[in-house]
């Protein structure tokens, strides 16, 4: 029996799983198919590449479930969160990173860890039991051969949805006679900065004209197999939103609340926000502006936004197909495939949505696999924690008949009481999560999954 645990996929979940195995004293073999084979969304060969936004979303643990998940991952010695913290760029109360510095940091850490062997090769089929324990963390862009084998192993077709990428713009091509820096409501970020976003204002007339252009733009055609695939509601392209109603964009990514145009002293009718994308501050991405418009139409439409008339694009928007399995039907509470329990699944392929959610499931899969390799008892995190609530959703908490990708949110947590108002309820959830995570981490430290003492990431 192979004593190493095989992790397939070098994205956020796979890197986190391998790291947790190694830091707990186990050995991991991390398989990554790039550069021998790439996907239509990846641009580099680096481990843990961020293919969409550079944002890990809210970092506020007291008021936001994703922020609470950030805190829990940090306390659980997450490689991904430590790299994100080191490469943070201004984004108000959100955690955004220099994507290239972040990925390079993760790759360096993985390559420097003697307990991890990295194999740059495609894995075309699922490992057999004689290969030992394995974690499938191939993400939403699983290669066709492996995806087909997963379908054969599960006995059910993989579900699918579309995800989209927002454009990235060179800062020096933005007109600051029109645009200005400000965070919504002047909320300070971790460094006290209240001006983390570039804002491009639109009047009623400009907004109406913009919506018309978006609706008239030519889109990249779908393949035949894509036509019945649903969108993920948390990442809809702007043209899909625009077709849902004239005000949908203005109440979505173009909402003007909490902003004052210094040129007029008033709130704009609508606004396009851009968030820093690299540490140098030379690139900014368009927040919430995922799109399937053809590149020629995309450039023409986006340059009609005030302040972006001469915009130069470092990357245009695009769409890729994401796949995920019906985890509540297929996985047990320790993320094992019921039909082949030597296999675990982790990351977005399990039906979680978002960088930190993928990281969280990778962390748990790595720790669970390490415990199983040592014949130790696997104790999942309590459902009252962000880690436990997310795990519960993809294993036993969701209805397999209607399962869809999900971000971490307070609706996944057990109710602390029926009579609490929203703020008190949220506060009670956060307090319980912190206390229960303490107890769970203490129990893990007393098991075979404790990390090497004194090691620095």
Q: In the chain, count of helices (H) and strands (E)?
A: 12, 17
SS3 labels along 316-352 = CCEEEEEEECCHHHHECCCCEECCEEEEEECHHHHCE
Q: Compute the residue count for the chain.
A: 457
What does each C-alpha distance from 325 to 24, 376, 390 come to in angstroms? 28, 27, 15
Q: Distance (Å, rounded) from C-alpha 121 to C-alpha 35? A: 8
- State residue 447's pLDDT score: 62
- State residue 165's pLDDT score: 81
In contact, 191 and 90? CB cutoff 8 Å: yes
- State residue 279's pLDDT score: 80
Q: Please, what are the averages of pLDDT over each run of 10 residues along the chain (457 residues)?
A: 86 98 97 82 85 92 96 98 96 94 97 97 94 93 87 77 82 96 89 87 97 94 60 80 95 96 96 91 91 93 97 86 86 96 96 94 98 96 97 88 82 84 90 97 73 43
Angle among Cα 28, 386, 420 to the nearest 5 degrees reads 170
Domains of the chain: 5-158+325-445 (3.50.50.60), 164-321 (2.40.30.260)
Report residue 231: phi and psi, to 5°.
Answer: -80, 150
DSSP-assigned letters across all residues of 415-431: PS-TT--HHHHHHHHHH
Q: How far is CA 209 from the centre of its chain?
A: 33
Q: Distance (Å, rounded) from C-alpha 6 to C-alpha 31? A: 7
Cα–Cα nearest to 301, from 252, 284, 309: 309
- 63 Cβ contact list (under 8 Å, min separation 6): 426
Tell how strand 134-136 and strand 318-324 pair up: unpaired
pLDDT digits (tens, 9 = 90+) for 10-68: 999 999 999 999 999 999 999 999 888 777 667 788 999 998 889 999 999 999 999 99
Residue 375 — left, alpha, or beta (φ > 0 → left; ψ -120 to 50 → alpha)? left
What spatial distance separates the first Cα and last Cα of the chain, rounded to whole Å?
Answer: 30
Strand partners, 94: 58
Report residue 203: phi and psi, to 5°.
Answer: -80, 175
- State residue 457's pLDDT score: 31
What does each C-alpha distance from 335 to 17, 153, 326, 345, 358 come to in angstroms? 12, 15, 12, 6, 13
Look at the block and give the residue holding tokens 């073999």.
29
Look at the block and give the residue holding tokens 């580099």.
44
In the sheet that holds 340-345, the strands lie side by side as 116-120, 28-32, 5-8, 134-136, 340-345, 336-337
- The number of C-alpha atoms within 13 Å of 244 and in the hemisphere containing its C-beta is 13
Q: Distance (Å, rounded) from C-alpha 457 to C-alpha 454? A: 10
Helix (H, G, I), strand (E, B) or coil at 409: coil
Cα–Cα nearest to 283, from 53, 111, 40: 53
DSSP-assigned letters across all residues of 174-222: S-TTT-EE--GGG---TTS-S--EEEEEE-HHHHHHHHHHHHHSPBPPP
- State residue 429's pLDDT score: 95
């Amino acid at each position: 029996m192979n004593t190493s645990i095989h992790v397939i996929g070098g994205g956020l979940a796979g890197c986190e799983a391998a790291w947790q195995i190694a830091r707990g004293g186990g050995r991991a073999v991390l398989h990554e198919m790039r550069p021998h084979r790439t996907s239509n969304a990846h641009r580099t060969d680096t481990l843990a590449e961020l293919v969409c936004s550079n944002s890990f979303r809210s970092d506020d643990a007291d008021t936001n479930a994703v922020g609470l998940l950030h805190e829990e991952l940090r306390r659980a010695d997450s490689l991904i969160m430590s790299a994100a913290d080191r490469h943070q760029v201004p984004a108000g109360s959100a955690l955004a990173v220099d994507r290239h510095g972040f990925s390079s940091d993760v790759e360096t850490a993985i390559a420097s860890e003697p307990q991890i062997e990295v194999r740059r090769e495609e894995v075309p089929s699922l490992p057999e039991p004689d290969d030992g324990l394995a974690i499938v963390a191939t993400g939403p862009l699983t290669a066709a051969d492996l995806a087909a084998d997963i379908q054969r192993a599960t006995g059910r077709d993989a579900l699918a949805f579309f995800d989209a990428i927002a454009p990235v713009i060179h800062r020096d091509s933005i007109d600051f006679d029109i645009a200005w820096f400000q965070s919504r409501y002047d909320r300070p970020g971790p460094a006290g900065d209240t001006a983390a976003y570039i804002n491009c204002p639109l009047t009623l007339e400009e907004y109406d004209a913009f919506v018309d252009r978006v609706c008239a733009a030519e889109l990249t055609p779908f393949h035949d197999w894509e036509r019945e695939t649903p969108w993920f509601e948390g990442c809809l392209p702007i043209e899909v939103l625009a077709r849902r109603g004239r005000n949908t964009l203005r109440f979505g990514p173009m909402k003007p609340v909490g902003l004052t145009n210094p040129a007029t002293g008033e709130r704009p009718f609508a606004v396009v926000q851009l968030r820093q994308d690299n540490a140098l501050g030379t690139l900014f991405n368009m927040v919430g502006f995922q799109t399937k418009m053809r590149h020629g139409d995309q450039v023409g439409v986006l340059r009609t936004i005030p302040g972006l008339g001469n915009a130069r694009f470092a990357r245009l928007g695009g769409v890729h197909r994401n796949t995920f399995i019906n985890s509540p039907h297929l996985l047990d509470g320790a993320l094992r495939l019921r039909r082949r329990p030597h296999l675990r699944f982790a990351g977005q392929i399990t039906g979680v949505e978002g960088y930190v959610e993928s990281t969280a499931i990778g962390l748990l899969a790595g720790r669970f696999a390490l415990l199983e390799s040592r014949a130790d008892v696997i104790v999942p995190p309590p459902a009252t924690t962000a880690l436990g609530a997310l795990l519960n959703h993809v294993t036993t908490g969701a209805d397999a008949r209607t399962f869809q990708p999900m971000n971490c949110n307070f609706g996944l947590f057990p109710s602390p009481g029926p009579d609490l108002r929203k703020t008190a309820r949220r506060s009670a959830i956060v307090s319980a999560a912190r206390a229960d995570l303490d107890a769970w981490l203490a129990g893990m430290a007393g098991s075979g999954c404790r990390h090497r003492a004194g090691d620095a990431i």
